[in-house]
Amino acid sequence: MTNPEGDDVIGAPIHPERLCMVRPTKPNNPRPRTLTYVHRCLLRMRPILRQEWVNHYDIQILGLFNQGNYIHLLNIYSDSSSSAINFLSTNFIDIPNIIYMGGDFNCRSPEWDPSATYVPMSAITLMELADGFNLTRSSPTIISPTHFSSIESHDNSVIDLIFCANNSTPHIIDVNSRLPSDHAPLIMDLPICPDYINYKKRVLPKDSDEETAFTFQVSEHLAALDCSDIHSTSCLNNISDSISRIFNESWNTNSKIVWITNRSKEWWNLHCSETLLTYRRTKDRKDWRAFRAATRAAKRSFFDARIHEIASTNKGPWDLMEWVKQCKLPAIEGIHYQGRPCNDLPDLWNALHSSYNSASGRPVSSNILNEMKSLPPRSWANFSVLKLTESLSSCANSSAPGPDHVSWKHLKSIVAHNECLKNIILIANACKRTRNKALLKSLSSMQRRAALWITGAFRTSPSGGAESIAGLIPIHLHLRKLAICSLYRVSTLPSNHALCSLLSDGFSLNSSPHSQSLRFLTLAKKAKVKGPLIDVDSSLSHLSDSFSPFAPESKPGSRLIDIFPNSIHFHPCNRSDKHEMYKHVLSLDSVFSSSSSDHNCILVVTDASVPLVGSLQAISVAHLYRGGQQVSHAKQASGRASSTDTELFSIHIGIAKAISLHCDHIILITNCLPAAKLAVDPSIHSSQSHSIQVC
């Protein structure tokens, strides 16, 4: 630029509404040839140059914070030797959430420049680079050159390009705005609109006229729905869409938009806003005092209502008390059993065991089940009005069943209308009758949103890929896993449980068979029978672990940790602190040195390896040292197990090997403290058999 009244103006122009971002340079370094202007309305998105990824004078990575993650824009200038393209190709960096790459690439190709006659190697490299970033080339709305040569013998060309994540987004070549420049500016609307910057939201004030109007409008429209003839899944889906539309329209009609700032107050009301506007308009001292009085009254009213809600409605007056004071212990009453006080641990265990486990180890007669008459099978009972109202009455008013702007309080007001309640019952029964999997579809949509939030992927990303990257298994497989785990719980029942008399021979635990037991059914009959008992019987055949609900080692007072409380010690390590880890390693070295001088002490070092491939088995390893020398080792396959169970199995084989060598003191070194604690816990868990062997 040239000033008519002075010298030439050198440097980038500065605009008061735009922030100029450029790579800082040192005196001896080459000057950058790229810069980025960011409008000040986007400063809330915290723009930042990612120089820790690429520190090149021809490349800029701009990051904008949006919806909990940074999105990135790539600004490139590549000279005639394609230095920037070659640099990114040889030093490829996986930039997350990149949505834009544009600039002057000095690269021609018949794909975007009709006047080009051949495809150079730099164009092929550029397209491969865009594919690596999951970007596609944007097409202009009107085909036009972007570079206008000042030499008459040279043709105009297209060397300024834009690549974006959304391949349907075009750009504009604004030839009329290039002024003296030989390049035409490219204009493009990226999907970063103010709606994505969530500094405002729609709310429905609690206990307000708007909330009353919202529930009234929803109730009126729900009562007008015709739910008398829902005979198919398509009809049920249409009704569901109508309900969703009713809630959405009612919410948009009665809610209001509020701005979220660091000065937002829950107690602020409309009267405070009116008095504040009056004071700002008049600047009168009396209006200021009126505003202060309004805020004090609003605070008092808000906190009085909150105190009343906590103390009376929620029945939690302790939430209003100070927790820093000394807690006074309540009066303690001694436990008596059969007229005798329980002063020591064996008496206490005898009272507990005799009260709750009186049938342990005693045979049970299954004849009591014969008194129950076999009733004909019946269909599932329909939903009743009484059951629905009783279930809603126990729900808290402050929570919500789902993300559809409707709380339990609103539902209670809606079902108070008889027509709404009638339609809700009809819809619920239709869902059961048509066996619609709408709930599974909602769960799948919920998991997809969670996967996109975790990975930061685009909304067009495939669900399976996003869930795999986020580490989430498909929702139907997760539900199947939960169902199988619930079936496996039957294996933890004692042998005299009445349910064992109904199972097959392999799972009845030697109990007397019932007349309706599955062991009397042939394979053909079992294939025709459906029910949870059949599912339990078929699932137990795949379970290889054994459980003992009343093992002698698990009784309170008989556990290893109860008998020898002063002989078992755990020494955890804070892995997040490197200094603490270094001190812990030094202490382990001293422990190893001290154990080497004691020949009655055996040092057991255990570890486990769980492969990432599900078809391979885990491995448990234990090494034993005495007198500073390795005296034995053990290595066994653990099957398909979790890391904690595999570590527990390695502790089991290490302790068993140490006991066979006759020692007085065992020191166990493991990198899994939960497995070490499970080793002395013989209660029911996934590897209870290993814990019982250790104890």
3-state secondary structure of 689: helix
Report in angstroms the alpha-carbon separations of 420 from 250, 255, 385, 427.
15, 22, 11, 11
Given a cut of 70, whether residue 319 has pLDDT beyond it is no
- For position 327, what pLDDT does the model report? 55
- 280 lies in the same domain as 427: yes
Q: What is the mean pLDDT of residues 151-165?
A: 87
345 within domain boundaries: no
Q: Quote the distance between the C-alpha of residue 396 and its chain's center.
A: 24
- 511 lies in the same domain as 461: no
Angle between helices 209-223 and 233-254 (to 10 degrees): 160
Given a cut of 70, whether residue 43 has pLDDT beyond it is yes
Given a cut of 80, whether residue 6 has pLDDT beyond it is no
- For position 296, what pLDDT does the model report? 92
- 517 lies in the same domain as 582: no
Cα distance between residue 478 and residue 467, in whole Å? 12
Cα distance between residue 131 and residue 161, in whole Å? 15
Copy the structure tokens of residue 312: 């009376």
Mark residue 611 as left, alpha or beta (left: phi above 0; alpha: psi -120 to 50; beta: remaining).
beta
Name the more confident of 333 and 34.
34
Among the candidates 450, 472, 494, a domain finishes at 472
- For position 160, what pLDDT does the model report? 92
Per-residue pLDDT tens for 199-210? 567 788 877 888
Reduced 3-state DSSP string for 560-619:
HHHHCCCCCCCCCCCCCCHHHHHHHHHHHHHHHHHHHCCCCEEEEEEEEECCCCCCCCEE
Per-residue pLDDT tens for 459-476? 777 777 778 787 788 888
Read off the pTM: 0.41
Given a cut of 90, whether residue 75 has pLDDT beyond it is yes
Using CA atoms of 519, 522, 528, 534 in order, give the dihedral in degrees to the nearest 10. Answer: 20
For 11-25, b/e burial (b = at least 16 CB within 10 A) is eeeeeeeeeebbbee
Per-residue pLDDT tens for 609-658? 988 777 788 899 999 999 888 888 888 888 888 888 889 999 999 998 88
Q: What is the mean pLDDT of residues 326-333?
A: 56
133 within domain boundaries: yes
Q: What is the mean pLDDT of residues 569-587?
A: 85
Q: What is the mean pLDDT of residues 231-249?
A: 85
Strand bridging mode 340-341 / 336-337: antiparallel
Given a cut of 90, whether residue 102 has pLDDT beyond it is yes
Copy the structure tokens of residue 679: 């080793």
- For position 624, what pLDDT does the model report? 92
Per-residue pLDDT tens for 540-566? 877 777 777 777 787 777 788 888 888
Per-residue pLDDT tens for 602-616? 999 999 998 877 778
- 583 lies in the same domain as 603: yes
Given a cut of 90, whether residue 293 has pLDDT beyond it is yes
581 within domain boundaries: yes
Contact assessment for residue 40 and residue 17, using Cβ atoms and an 8 Å cutoff? yes
- 629 lies in the same domain as 682: yes
443 within domain boundaries: yes
Given a cut of 60, whether residue 324 has pLDDT beyond it is no
344 within domain boundaries: no
Lowest mean pLDDT among 24-28, 32-36, 654-658, 675-679: 24-28
- The domain of 250 spans 199-317+383-434
- For position 451, what pLDDT does the model report? 80
Contact assessment for residue 694 and residue 680, using Cβ atoms and an 8 Å cutoff? yes
Q: What is the mean pLDDT of residues 308-317?
A: 69
Half-sphere exposure of 549 (CA within 13 A, CB side): 15
- For position 163, what pLDDT does the model report? 92
Angle at 559 between CA 555 and CA 560, to 5 degrees: 170
- 489 lies in the same domain as 396: no
Cα distance between residue 376 and residue 399, in whole Å? 41
Residue 548, H or E segment: none
367 within domain boundaries: no
- 258 lies in the same domain as 392: yes
Question: Could you write out the DSSP letters of every residue in 388-452?
Answer: HHHHHHTS-TT--SSSSS--HHHHHHHHTSHHHHHHHHHHHHHHHHHT--HHHHHHHHHHHHHHH
Angle between helices 385-393 and 418-434 (to 10 degrees): 110
Beta bridge partners of 628: none
Given a cut of 50, whether residue 197 has pLDDT beyond it is no
Among the candidates 522, 543, 564, a domain finishes at 543
Strand bridging mode 200-203 / 186-187: unpaired
- 109 lies in the same domain as 191: yes
207 within domain boundaries: yes
Q: What is the mean pLDDT of residues 90-112?
A: 84
- 511 lies in the same domain as 538: yes
Among the candidates 490, 517, 543, a domain finishes at 543
Name the more confident of 190 and 544.
190
- 650 lies in the same domain as 670: yes
Given a cut of 80, whether residue 422 has pLDDT beyond it is yes
Cα distance between residue 453 and residue 447, in whole Å? 10
Query: Hey, how many other C-beta atoms are within 10 angstroms of the C-beta on 458?
Result: 14
Closest by CA to 85, choosing from 101, 96, 70, 97, is 101
- For position 146, what pLDDT does the model report? 92
Closest by CA to 648, choosing from 689, 592, 591, is 689
- For position 689, what pLDDT does the model report? 83
Q: What percent of the chain has pLDDT over 90?
A: 11
Closest by CA to 161, choosing from 121, 88, 111, is 111
As a whole number, the mean pLDDT across the chain is 81
- 137 lies in the same domain as 69: yes
| Total structural domains within the chain | 5
Given a cut of 50, whether residue 195 has pLDDT beyond it is no
Per-residue pLDDT tens for 250-286? 888 888 887 665 566 778 888 998 998 999 888 888 9
Contact assessment for residue 78 and residue 107, using Cβ atoms and an 8 Å cutoff? yes
144 within domain boundaries: yes
- For position 48, what pLDDT does the model report? 87
SS3 content of the chain, % helix, strand, coil (to 5): 45, 15, 45
Residue 486, H or E segment: helix 475-488
- 56 lies in the same domain as 79: yes
Given a cut of 90, whether residue 347 has pLDDT beyond it is no
